[in-house]
């Protein structure tokens, strides 16, 4: 007994709970440990996939930017040339008058002073064919002129007062599937010299041009200073070809004539003299030809240092013969064009100047299919320029001798240089995208045929001599214009609707309204664009007074209804539960809209003479059926769900203790909303607006179908626009892959990408600052 008692007191008694607690702890901690492990695994997997997703998005955006950048970079590369061969001028030893080559650069042609015409291989100088012009014995060539390069027409003036008109042409065949270019000479009228000067005086200058229907005009000047215009017309019948020649004497300028040029439309004759002047004649009706003006076209700036007046050393029409480029003895290089002045008189006007040469300009020759040209000077330097982009793409010392001729191939991928020693230098040219420059894309450009510099986007036309206009300013302005009016319409409605829905509306009604508006976001924008273009735009045009009366009467009508509602006895108002007020406004809104539409014809008659659109025209406002007003409303409906949903969530998630505390301290619900809720939710509201703006900037289908796609540069709400995204959608399918137009569309995409990136960056910066500012509330 004592032993048992000793053992009992010698060790602590075993608690009846100890085994139970021990077994319970182990049984509870085992599942908990497993849950924690599984939760850690899931967290790790989620963290991995979220991280991979985020990094993938960043990589994708970077790759998109890189791809766009790679496509755009070639636009701004300079031209380059590669020397292929140098050899003595093929054929006769007589001085060269003219060199050219055909489009495949397999045959070149050289006209010489002795009347020989030599066709040769441009790469080797090997003669392929040699012919002689029909020049009478004892008669010499005294002048040479060439028409618009694409016509391949040249004229040779003779010492006996006669001249020859001839074309260097080629036949193309494919024997055994191999291209064969066979050169030939073609005489448009006769293979004999034609009478030029009735007195038989030597022709010192000659210009020729071929128009439509086979008509050719030639201008000649003689050594005694007389100026004549000769017109040839061809009438072809089934049995014969009849040629008519008419000659007209013009009032000659009292100076030495050394250049004669006729425009392609046969309307203008430009006469260059040795004193730096160009004299302009209107010759559309040769029998009534008129002298219009004389204009100095060579700058005096370079000559002042030399103490002498500069001279015109060469001048040539650019493609289409709308503008001409003049080179001077002072190395100046300027472009001129006939522009109508305030009195509606066309006058020669300098529209741009290019980087001058260090020596007198010796040769200017245009491209065959673009507004570019090549120049050369007495020091052996050459330059490749482009008029529209106001860009000098190449300036290089090419030959250690004076260059007499610089001539591009029809595709502008080959170049002949003929030096003073009668050596011909053959080059390959790479000049893929001369039309683009910062100036052409983002600044006003003085295009041919316009009265002043403008922003224009016109990428194509039906004529070969068309000057592409690639200004991105109208497209960027159109993008911002569409987004501005869409946000002007959508932002107030979306934010005000979100405030009421989140803070004042009953939960049951909110459960209907919020999903309904969010479902609108799934509506294809092509449907909205289709409805806007084909139904809403004509409706707005026919009910313009209704549109403006809705903007005025709808807010006033709602305020008036609210005032009347407040005057109703409280007992009656209590029948409508709090938060359901919006439901009873629906009939009011419908009635006001219906009344405005019904009153539209009467308002038209009472205030606008029966036609509000015509009234706009009378006061100087242009109204297009598909305009920014239509786009703003249609695109606003596409943007509203985005702004509404994010704003509503931001307001609804404001902590309840903030609003309850404000109300408990005596603030009204409206004061609480303005002072507490809006400030707290402001980061989310601002994010919603900026996300909506990004959506509006990038919208394509609505603006494509509802704007008219006119690339205008203004913010007139009654005119249309063309946006960057719509322009890409419209024109990408028409472009040549890798061409200038193609790459400029990629540049448009890069600009759009940059705009959205800037907007989103600004939004994030402001959101973070707002969150930090109001975090203490």
pLDDT interval class at 4 (50, 70, 90): very low
∠ at Cα 304 (298, 306), nearest 5°?
Answer: 105
Contact 327, 365 (CB under 8 A): no
pLDDT at 751 over 90: yes
* Confidence at residue 302, expressed as pLDDT on a 0 to 100 scale: 45
Smallest Cα–Cα separation from 412: which of 740, 183, 89? 740
Which pLDDT value is given to residue 21? 47
* pLDDT surpasses 80 at 711: yes
Q: Is the pLDDT of residue 395 over 60?
A: yes
Long-range contacts of 338-347 (CB under 8 A, 24+ apart): 338/268, 338/280, 339/451, 340/451, 345/292, 346/280, 346/292, 347/280, 347/292, 347/293, 347/295
Q: Which pLDDT value is given to residue 307?
A: 56
The CA-atom distances, in angstroms, between 512 and each of 248, 519, 583, 588, 637 are: 87, 11, 12, 20, 18
- Average pLDDT over all residues of the chain: 88
Predicted confidence (pLDDT) at residue 116 exceeds the cutoff of 90: yes
Span 331-340, mean pLDDT?
93
The pLDDT of residue 725: 93
Q: What is the mean pLDDT of residues 182-209?
A: 90
pLDDT confidence band for 631 (50 / 70 / 90)? very high
Alpha carbon distance 652, 671 (integer Å): 16
User: Cα separation of 757 and 698, whole Å?
Assistant: 11
Neighbours of 678 (CB within 10 A): 18
Rounded to whole angstroms, the Cα distance separating 50 from 147 reads 69
Report the pLDDT value the prediction gives residue 240, as an integer from 0 to 100. 66
> Can you give the pLDDT at residue 658?
87
d(CA 494, CA 501): 10
| Range of weakest confidence among 18-22, 72-76, 266-270, 394-398 | 18-22
Query: Rounded CA gap, 289 and 308, in Å?
Result: 34
C-alpha gyration radius of the chain: 40
Residue with tokens 């850690």: 40
Rounded mean pLDDT, 144-167? 92
Q: Helix, strand, coil % (nearest 5) of the chain?
A: 45, 25, 30
The mean pLDDT value for 93-116 works out to: 95
Give the tokens for residue 251.
């009032």
What's the whole-number mean pLDDT along residues 329-342? 92
The reported pLDDT for the residue numbered 5 is 44
Predicted pLDDT of residue 323:
94
Tokens matching residue 235:
């009438």
pLDDT of residue 8: 42
pLDDT in tens, 646-691: 999 999 988 888 888 888 888 888 889 888 888 888 888 988 998 8
- Report the first-to-last Cα separation within the chain, whole angstroms: 76
Q: For position 242, what pLDDT does the model report? A: 75
Contact assessment for residue 759 and residue 734, using Cβ atoms and an 8 Å cutoff = no
Question: 3-state SS of 264-294?
Answer: CCCCEEEEEECCCEEEEEECCCHHHCEEEEE
Question: Hey, what's the torsion of the CAs at 185, 186, 189, 194, to 10 degrees?
Answer: -20
What are the helix and strand counts (H, E) for the chain?
A: 19, 31
Work out the burial of residue 609: count CB atoms within 10 Å of its CB; fewer than 13 is exposed, 13-18 middle, 19 or more buried.
exposed
Q: Extract the runs of DSSP E, i.e. beta strands, from 152-237.
A: 153-158, 162-173, 180-186, 194-195, 203-210, 216-222, 227-236
d(CA 489, CA 638): 11
pLDDT of amino acid 299: 67
pLDDT attached to residue 577: 82
Quote the percentage of the chain above a pLDDT of 70.
Answer: 93
d(CA 572, CA 565): 10
């Amino acid at each position: 007994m004592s032993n048992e008692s000793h053992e009992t007191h010698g060790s602590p008694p075993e608690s009846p709970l100890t085994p139970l607690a021990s077994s319970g702890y182990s049984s509870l901690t085992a599942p908990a440990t497993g849950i924690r492990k599984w939760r850690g695994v899931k967290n790790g997997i989620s963290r991995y996939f979220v991280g991979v997703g985020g990094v993938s998005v960043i990589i994708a955006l970077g790759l998109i930017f890189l791809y766009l950048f790679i496509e755009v970079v070639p636009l701004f590369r300079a031209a380059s040339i590669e020397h292929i061969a140098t050899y003595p001028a093929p054929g006769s030893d007589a001085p060269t008058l003219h060199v050219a080559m055909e489009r495949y650069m397999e045959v070149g042609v050289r006209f010489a002073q002795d009347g020989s015409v030599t066709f040769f291989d441009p790469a080797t100088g090997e003669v392929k064919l040699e012919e002689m012009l029909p020049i009478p014995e004892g008669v010499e060539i005294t002048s040479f002129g060439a028409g618009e390069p694409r016509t391949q027409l040249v004229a040779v003036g003779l010492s006996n007062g006669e001249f020859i008109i001839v074309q260097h042409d080629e036949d193309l065949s494919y024997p055994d599937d191999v291209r064969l270019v066979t050169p030939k000479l073609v005489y448009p009228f006769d293979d004999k010299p034609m009478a030029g000067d009735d007195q038989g005086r030597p022709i010192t200058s000659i210009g020729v041009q071929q128009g439509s229907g086979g008509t050719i005009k030639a201008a000649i000047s003689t050594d005694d200073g007389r100026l004549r215009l000769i017109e040839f017309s061809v009438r072809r019948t089934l049995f014969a070809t009849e040629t008519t020649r008419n000659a007209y004497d013009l009032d000659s300028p009292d100076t030495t004539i050394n250049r004669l040029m006729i425009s392609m439309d046969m309307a203008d004759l430009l006469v260059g003299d040795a004193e730096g002047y160009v004299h302009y004649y209107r010759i559309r009706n040769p029998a009534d030809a008129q002298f219009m003006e004389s204009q100095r076209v060579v700058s005096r700036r370079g000559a002042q240092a030399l103490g002498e007046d500069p001279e015109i050393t060469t001048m040539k029409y650019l493609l289409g013969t709308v503008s001409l480029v003049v080179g001077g003895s002072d190395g100046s290089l300027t472009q001129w064009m006939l522009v109508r002045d305030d009195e509606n008189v066309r006058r020669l006007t300098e529209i741009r100047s290019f980087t001058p040469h260090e020596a007198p300009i010796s040769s200017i020759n245009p491209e065959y299919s673009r507004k570019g040209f090549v120049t050369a000077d007495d020091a052996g330097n050459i330059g490749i320029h482009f008029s529209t982009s106001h860009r000098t793409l190449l300036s290089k010392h090419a030959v250690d001798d004076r260059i007499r001729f610089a001539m591009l191939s029809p595709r502008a991928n080959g170049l002949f240089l003929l030096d003073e020693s009668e050596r011909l230098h053959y080059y390959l040219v790479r000049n893929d995208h001369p039309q683009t420059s910062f100036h052409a894309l983002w600044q006003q450009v003085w295009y041919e045929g316009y009265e002043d510099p403008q922003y224009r986007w016109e990428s194509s036309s039906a004529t070969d001599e068309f000057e592409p206009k690639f200004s991105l300013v109208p497209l960027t302005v159109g993008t911002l214009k569409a987004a501005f009016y869409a946000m002007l319409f959508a932002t107030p409605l979306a934010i005000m609707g979100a405030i009421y829905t989140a803070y004042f509306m009953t939960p049951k009604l909110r459960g209907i309204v919020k999903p309904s508006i969010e479902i609108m976001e799934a509506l294809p924008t092509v449907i909205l664009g289709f409805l806007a273009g084909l139904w809403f735009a004509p409706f707005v045009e026919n009910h313009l007074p209704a549109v403006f009366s809705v903007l005025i009467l709808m807010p006033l009508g709602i305020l008036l209804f609210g005032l009347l509602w407040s005057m109703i006895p409280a007992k009656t108002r209590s029948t409508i539960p709090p938060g359901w007020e919006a439901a009873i406004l629906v009939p009011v809104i419908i009635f006001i809209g219906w009344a405005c539409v019904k009153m539209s014809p009467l308002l038209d008659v009472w205030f606008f003479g029966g036609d509000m659109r015509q009234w706009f025209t009378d006061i100087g406002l242009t109204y297009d059926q598909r305009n920014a007003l239509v786009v703003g409303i249609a695109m606003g409906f596409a943007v509203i769900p985005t702004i509404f949903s994010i704003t509503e969530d931001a307001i609804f998630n404001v902590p309840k203790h903030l609003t309850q505390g404000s109300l408990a301290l005596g603030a009204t619900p409206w004061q609480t909303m303005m002072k507490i809720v809006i400030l707290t939710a402001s980061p989310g509201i601002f994010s919603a607006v900026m996300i909506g703006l990004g959506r509006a900037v990038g919208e394509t289908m609505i603006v494509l179908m509802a704007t008219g796609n006119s690339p205008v540069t203004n913010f007139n709400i009654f005119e249309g626009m063309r946006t960057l995204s719509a322009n890409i959608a419209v024109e990408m399918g028409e472009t040549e892959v890798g061409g200038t137009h193609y790459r400029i569309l990629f540049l448009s995409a890069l600009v759009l990408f940059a705009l959205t990136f800037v907007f989103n960056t600004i939004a994030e910066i402001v959101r973070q600052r707002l969150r930090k500012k109001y975090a203490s509330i």
